[in-house]
Amino acid sequence: MKTVVVRNIKRADADVVKRLGALGTSTVHEAYGRSGLMKPYLRPAWVGGEAAGTAVTVLAQPGYNWMIHVAVEQCKPGDILVVGCTTDNTDGMFGDLLATSLMARGVTGLILDAGCRDVKSLREMGFPVWSRAISAKGTVKSTLGAVNIPVVCAGVNVEPGDAVVADDDGVVVVRRKQASEVAAKGEKRFAEEDSKRQQLASGVLGLDIYKMREPLAKAGLIYLDDPEAD
Amino acid sequence: MKTVVVRNIKRADADVVKRLGALGTSTVHEAYGRSGLMKPYLRPAWVGGEAAGTAVTVLAQPGYNWMIHVAVEQCKPGDILVVGCTTDNTDGMFGDLLATSLMARGVTGLILDAGCRDVKSLREMGFPVWSRAISAKGTVKSTLGAVNIPVVCAGVNVEPGDAVVADDDGVVVVRRKQASEVAAKGEKRFAEEDSKRQQLASGVLGLDIYKMREPLAKAGLIYLDDPEAD
Amino acid sequence: MKTVVVRNIKRADADVVKRLGALGTSTVHEAYGRSGLMKPYLRPAWVGGEAAGTAVTVLAQPGYNWMIHVAVEQCKPGDILVVGCTTDNTDGMFGDLLATSLMARGVTGLILDAGCRDVKSLREMGFPVWSRAISAKGTVKSTLGAVNIPVVCAGVNVEPGDAVVADDDGVVVVRRKQASEVAAKGEKRFAEEDSKRQQLASGVLGLDIYKMREPLAKAGLIYLDDPEAD
Amino acid sequence: MKTVVVRNIKRADADVVKRLGALGTSTVHEAYGRSGLMKPYLRPAWVGGEAAGTAVTVLAQPGYNWMIHVAVEQCKPGDILVVGCTTDNTDGMFGDLLATSLMARGVTGLILDAGCRDVKSLREMGFPVWSRAISAKGTVKSTLGAVNIPVVCAGVNVEPGDAVVADDDGVVVVRRKQASEVAAKGEKRFAEEDSKRQQLASGVLGLDIYKMREPLAKAGLIYLDDPEAD
Amino acid sequence: MKTVVVRNIKRADADVVKRLGALGTSTVHEAYGRSGLMKPYLRPAWVGGEAAGTAVTVLAQPGYNWMIHVAVEQCKPGDILVVGCTTDNTDGMFGDLLATSLMARGVTGLILDAGCRDVKSLREMGFPVWSRAISAKGTVKSTLGAVNIPVVCAGVNVEPGDAVVADDDGVVVVRRKQASEVAAKGEKRFAEEDSKRQQLASGVLGLDIYKMREPLAKAGLIYLDDPEAD
Amino acid sequence: MKTVVVRNIKRADADVVKRLGALGTSTVHEAYGRSGLMKPYLRPAWVGGEAAGTAVTVLAQPGYNWMIHVAVEQCKPGDILVVGCTTDNTDGMFGDLLATSLMARGVTGLILDAGCRDVKSLREMGFPVWSRAISAKGTVKSTLGAVNIPVVCAGVNVEPGDAVVADDDGVVVVRRKQASEVAAKGEKRFAEEDSKRQQLASGVLGLDIYKMREPLAKAGLIYLDDPEAD
């Protein structure tokens, strides 16, 4: 592991990231060809938080948060911090002090493949965190990692500057260069879903909206009546 | 696996199901001789939801929700959808569009041995879901399963038409033919608990209410004073 | 296992316990040299609950809650009940009836290395529980365990009378004789954190507050500019 | 749960079961339309064991093996014992004494959704066991369950008399009435695989044997050369 | 955590430990009133290893093995090293170099609530290890822990000098002062089991040896014939 | 996800890969600055297998092995196949037929972040596989993935052509361009370890070989005699 900090990374366009955030993770994930979704063990520290931003990445050692402090200085307004860890770990690497510092710099949230703590304060401050665990176990500041190198976080390889969207459904990462195309696709999908929602609410079946009856029959689906029923 | 849809299943009596729902899972599970409880990895997608209904069952393949669409048409008001999966899977098989469709048909909730998504919308719509995971990962509609065959869901074999009760404590399944007897037993138990609750609140000990002192002594329980205490 | 109940245990000082509770688990854990934290699989049954108390300990068999009933009688106002289990188990060993009984005796909460149930009622009653699982599965009352012997609960060896602090971040145990010293250290730490919080909120970096720049350079950290960036 | 022992169950045909055993779990599972496979957390207690038999089923309480003793008497030569458990549990419900007793009755193996112990002796005796865990933790004999009722074991609903095949790849259950048809299909499949094996060994590609090139192209697969390569 | 090394601990009697080892974990665990068994996630690094010894305990930080090196010096022939960890961790804290050193000092084995590596060499050297994981991930030597203080390892509180027995079935710890009594009880149990084994092998049922038929009937067990059978 | 096959990738040097394989995963992982190690849930399908090769990568959908068939054609002697999966899955994606085909092409092994089957045959054929699970559950061939794109497998981002080393301790990936440097460092380390092994075997302590006594004292380690000991 190179113990390096990369400065002045190229970031996904801020407006595009905002548009992705408005779509939410499920729509973005669909629009992105079902790529980029982190594993579902990553959960919001508090229900209802939402964030979108450009990734500043951290590779940390378990039990150490030195590199998160280093990364804070590299963050700009609209960034989201993404922290991978060299070993599976649930220690509380992040709490309300670091959140205060990130909020002061305009960071929109934290994605952390380890534990966080002070969740009551985080909820009250409105700083959204997605983590693998909640744990009061603190960390020390004395082992190097790296900032703004590619990092595997919850099963996804995140590049610095990628667009990240997170909500109650999970966390999705979109490559910087594809963000604009994915936002456009997602918005189209979103519009279509709204019209479907109205049809479904009025009682029209998905079987008919999606024209499934014929392919189902072709695939061999058989309907029977329950012999036990009257 | 037979790729079949069974129509016109026999259902547990709607009034009995309502009475079971009023009792809640813990009481129903007790009244049912401690049977029928799904494994506790099944959790509500949002806190506070409650549902009772007659089971329409689905056996799905991981990553495919074709059969859920097929099952919607088989649902009647008062039904609850129960989805088992051929392999452990956390993909988001169910979201707000399908929920809209199910609500339009009077379905009371969903029990899903896989992942769900759009949890914020589900909470806002008030459609209760119990699932193994929350995941933005969508599914496709192109592999057959079956509807209204017996399905193992979270460790319980569910027959179509069974009575299902779900709340913050979990999910319980009662065989259709035993539902009425279990409701009666549960109501009796519920009444007794209420009187115990009042006694316990006034400071009477369970040791005395349940007459445990004698069996404890018989079983060999010994009381000592802490030698270190003053 | 000795099937024994130890009475009249020596307890940590009530005022000290209250001071520890005001600090919260993260600060207490730090002040205690990062000891005494239970594993993070123990989660609050409802969000926002907080408790501090002196431990009354129970060693229970999976599927049996006889010993919890026995322990109720040994509890005094300001106690917190800590239940370990001889085998990993998620059965719902504890519900609203036992909670009613404990509240009637002034017990501040429950730490349970097994499952609990009736979580909706527990939330409404305001009785805080930290458990390994939520499960409607009830238990029976017919196998002995022990009360007020040392018990391993969620990875921590708890002695009767120890100080226990629990909140959304987890559960920390402090040995009775060290409670006073830990409270003093924690209060000092808490005051320092407050001043740091204000500095961080104003935009001062942790890198400067904690004087990390020199040790980072010494440890070999290198700063590069992204060659791809403009 | 009914505390009942069903005697004189109808069993799958012994010869058919032997033929299924000769095919192994992977082939039987395929021939059975990919049904009936238990979850892969069930592992052999020792590598290389193989068993096929007709199911005698047990529903046990965690920590109790009374019902296994009861079931021994119901076993006939060629049976395999299948034990489900009312709660997830890893206690060592089964050891070399019970294995001695089962071997004396001609039982071919044990499928146990809980823990086993004495694995060194089991290996030396050549009695094959598939279990969820290995644990020295013994159980007691004092709570009823049931014998020869339908039991969910490792995610599969097993009926008494079903055909069960188990080897290093896992455990498959075939309904009694379908066993003969599945054996025939499996044997056909096995013969076909053998010819494919020889072709593949000689270097012919699966792409050509299975005629995949056209459907792959149709599905949109694109071949590119690595631009970085020479 | 006190960063301390306790020297010249009192050890369980070497002959008693040898007798306990001859009995194996299952018998010792039974003779010890079903206490002292570590959780079954601890598995042997290679099949067939067996060890018994007096505990030298280590509390280590995840990712650091400094304290294991320190502990080596405190070990005497007949000791077994028991390592607990302040956080759940799978890093490979121990490999063939440390094993060489421990073997040179007559240590009988290692119990490690973390990962080990070089398992091929360990198997070839015949040095038995029970660990939570196998991982090539090495550790560094720069954070203090403690040696010969009480340590929770895989759910059991181990005191320095306790008797430890480990084999394919798991790991059992017996308090130093109770070791002699447990060995005597275990030997009695072992003799009884042998006679039972012979009876069972000859076809006598456990139902009769343990005289279960009457208590089963009393508890309400009912025998039925399968109505479907001929 | 792009459904693409990249041909003619650049591969790490074959001799270097052989040298890395001779060192084993633990040494390579150390020499590589403790990078590149896959998560320890990946285990060998049979004990004692070892493999080193240049990565041909596959991104597969759970339950489908079409892309593995496609990848076979891209493999050359000395390659090792590395399969990541879009969702956590344990289905048996790989068995003896595909192994026969890979062996015919000179492939050295398989790294599979899903399940494999036919483990008995794999062991007999001597084809080494590292997988997340063993499962008889077969897959179908009808959904596209990709070959020779970067793939996250068991927590590591693998690039096509990277050097991969696997043995009983796990799986390590070294970037193609760094393979030669890592081999040299590893060989140096290996030589040093051998001399240490001899010293340790003769009874010299690691405390002295690694000159730890002074840093330990400096870090604050204290030695005490057990007050209870004679």
Q: Does residue F230 have a pLDDT over 70?
A: no
Interface contact flag, A220 B3, Cβ < 8 Å: yes
Interface contact flag, A226 B142, Cβ < 8 Å: no
Percent of chain C surpassing pLDDT 90: 86
Q: Does residue C230 have a pLDDT over 60?
A: no
Residue with tokens 């955590």: E1
Q: What is the mean pLDDT of residues F117-123?
A: 96
Interface contact flag, A5 C168, Cβ < 8 Å: no
Q: For residues F66 and D210, give the distance between their C-alpha atoms in angstroms, rounded to a whole number.
A: 10
Residue with tokens 């009775």: C176
What is the number of other CB atoms lying within 10 angstroms of the CB of residue C18?
Answer: 15
Of residues A73, A98, A136, nearest to C26 (C-beta):
A136
Q: Do chains C and F touch (3 or more CB pairs under 8 A)?
A: no
Q: What is the mean pLDDT of residues B57-68?
A: 92
Output the tens digit of pLDDT for each of chain E's 230 residues.
678 999 999 999 999 999 999 999 999 999 999 999 999 999 999 999 999 999 999 999 888 898 999 999 999 999 999 999 999 999 999 999 999 999 999 999 999 999 999 999 999 999 999 999 999 998 887 788 999 999 999 999 999 999 999 999 999 999 999 999 999 999 999 999 889 999 999 999 999 999 999 999 998 999 999 876 65
Q: For residues D129 and D97, give the distance between their C-alpha atoms in angstroms, rounded to a whole number.
A: 13
For D168, the token pair is 């290093």
Residue pLDDT, tens place only, B146-193: 999 999 999 999 999 999 999 999 999 999 999 999 999 999 999 998
B-contacting residues in A 154-173 (Cβ below 8 Å)? 167-170, 172
Contact between E135 and F170 under an 8 Å Cβ cutoff? The reply is yes
Q: Do chains B and E touch (3 or more CB pairs under 8 A)?
A: no
Interface contact flag, F6 D224, Cβ < 8 Å: yes
Q: What is the mean pLDDT of residues F140-156?
A: 91
User: Can you give the pLDDT at residue C139?
Assistant: 85
Q: For residues F45 and F47, give the distance between their C-alpha atoms in angstroms, rounded to a whole number.
A: 7
User: Can you give the pLDDT at residue B230?
Assistant: 56
User: Can you give the pLDDT at residue F41?
Assistant: 96
Rg (CA), chain C: 21
Å between F72 CA and nearest CA of chain D? 8
Name residue C40's amino acid: P
Q: Does residue D41 have a pLDDT over 70?
A: yes
Chains that touch B (3 or more CB pairs under 8 A): A, C, D, F
Interface contact flag, D89 C62, Cβ < 8 Å: yes
For F6, the token pair is 């990249």
pLDDT tier, D230 (very low <50, low <70, confident <90, very high otherwise):
low
Å between A32 CA and nearest CA of chain C? 24
DSSP string covering chain F: ---EEEES-----HHHHHHHHHH-HHHHHHHTTS--BPPTT-EESSTT--EEEEEEEEEE-TTB-HHHHHHHHH--TTEEEEEEESS----EEE-HHHHHHHHHTT---EEEEEEE--HHHHHHHT--EEEEEE-----BS----EESS-EEETTEEEPTT-EEEEETTEEEEE-GGGHHHHHHHHHHHHHHHHHHHHHHHTT--HHHHTT-HHHHHHHT-EEEE-TT--
Percent of chain D surpassing pLDDT 90: 88
A-contacting residues in C 194-213 (Cβ below 8 Å)? 196-197, 200-203, 205-207, 210, 212
Of residues E87, E90, E91, nearest to A91 (C-beta):
E87
What is the number of other CB atoms lying within 10 angstroms of the CB of residue D222?
Answer: 13
User: Can you give the pLDDT at residue D1?
Assistant: 65
Q: Does residue B229 have a pLDDT over 70?
A: no
Contact between E82 and E58 under an 8 Å Cβ cutoff? The reply is yes
The closest of D92, D69, D56 to D143, measured between CA atoms, is D69
What residues does E167 pair with on adjacent strands? Answer: E170
Q: For residues A179 and A175, give the distance between their C-alpha atoms in angstroms, rounded to a whole number.
A: 6
Q: For residues E107 and E103, give the distance between their C-alpha atoms in angstroms, rounded to a whole number.
A: 5
Contacts of F35 in chain A (CB under 8 A): 1, 86
For D122, the token pair is 């089991």
Q: Does residue A230 have a pLDDT over 90?
A: no
DSSP string covering F151-167: EEETTEEEPTT-EEEEE
User: Can you give the pLDDT at residue F1?
Assistant: 65
Contacts of D152 in chain B (CB under 8 A): 152, 155-157
Beta strands in chain C (DSSP E): 4-7, 43-44, 51-60, 79-85, 92-94, 110-116, 129-134, 146-147, 151-153, 156-158, 163-167, 170-174, 222-225
Q: Look at chain A and count its residues.
A: 230
Q: What's the whole-number average pLDDT of chain D? A: 94
- DSSP 8-class letter at B140: B
More confident residue, E209 or D1: E209
Name residue D26's amino acid: S
For F220, the token pair is 């604050």
What residues does E4 pair with on adjacent strands? Answer: F222
pLDDT tier, B227 (very low <50, low <70, confident <90, very high otherwise):
confident
Of residues A69, A137, A148, nearest to C34 (C-beta):
A137
Q: For residues E213 and F131, give the distance between their C-alpha atoms in angstroms, rounded to a whole number.
A: 47
Q: For residues C183 and C185, give the distance between their C-alpha atoms in angstroms, rounded to a whole number.
A: 6
E4 in C contact zone (CB under 8 Å): no
Interface contact flag, B152 D150, Cβ < 8 Å: no
pLDDT tier, A157 (very low <50, low <70, confident <90, very high otherwise):
very high
User: Can you give the pLDDT at residue B2?
Assistant: 78
B82 φ, ψ (degrees, to nearest 5)? -120, 115
Residue pLDDT, tens place only, E128-171: 999 999 999 988 877 889 999 999 999 999 999 999 999 999 99
Q: Do chains D and C touch (3 or more CB pairs under 8 A)?
A: yes
Q: Does residue D125 have a pLDDT over 90?
A: yes
B92 in A contact zone (CB under 8 Å): yes
F3 φ, ψ (degrees, to nearest 5)? -95, 85
Q: What is the mean pLDDT of residues A181-187?
A: 94
Contacts of E2 (CB under 8 A, 6+ apart): C33, E146, E149, F222
User: Can you give the pLDDT at residue B139?
Assistant: 85
Q: Does residue D227 have a pLDDT over 80?
A: no
Contacts of A209 (CB under 8 A, 6+ apart): A196, A199, A200
Chains that touch C (3 or more CB pairs under 8 A): A, B, D, E
User: Can you give the pLDDT at residue D138?
Assistant: 86
Element (H, E) at B22: helix B14-23
Contacts of A229 (CB under 8 A, 6+ apart): B8, B9, B10
Q: For residues E2 and A112, give the distance between their C-alpha atoms in angstroms, rounded to a whole number.
A: 30
Q: For residues A114 and C40, give the distance between their C-alpha atoms in angstroms, rounded to a whole number.
A: 11
Interface contact flag, C212 A69, Cβ < 8 Å: yes
Contacts of C88 in chain D (CB under 8 A): 90
Q: What is the mean pLDDT of residues A95-121?
A: 96
Beta strands in E20-174 (DSSP E): 43-44, 51-60, 79-85, 92-94, 110-116, 129-134, 146-147, 151-153, 156-158, 163-167, 170-174
Å between C36 CA and nearest CA of chain E? 9
End-to-end CA distance of chain A: 70
Element (H, E) at D14: helix D14-23
C141 in D contact zone (CB under 8 Å): no
Å between F87 CA and nearest CA of chain A? 8
Residue with tokens 């760094």: F178
Contacts of B86 in chain D (CB under 8 A): 34-35
Q: For residues A78 and A17, give the distance between their C-alpha atoms in angstroms, rounded to a whole number.
A: 9
Residue with tokens 């084999």: E167
Q: Look at chain F and count its residues.
A: 230
- Coil, helix or strand at residue B84: strand
Most B-contacting residue of F1, F61, F86, F87 (CB-CB within 10 A), to test interface: F87
For B164, the token pair is 């299902």
Contacts of F98 in chain D (CB under 8 A): 200, 206
What residues does F82 pair with on adjacent strands? Answer: F57, F111
Contacts of F130 (CB under 8 A, 6+ apart): F38, F42, F43, F44, F45, F109, F110, F111, F112, F166, F170, F171
pLDDT tier, F35 (very low <50, low <70, confident <90, very high otherwise):
very high
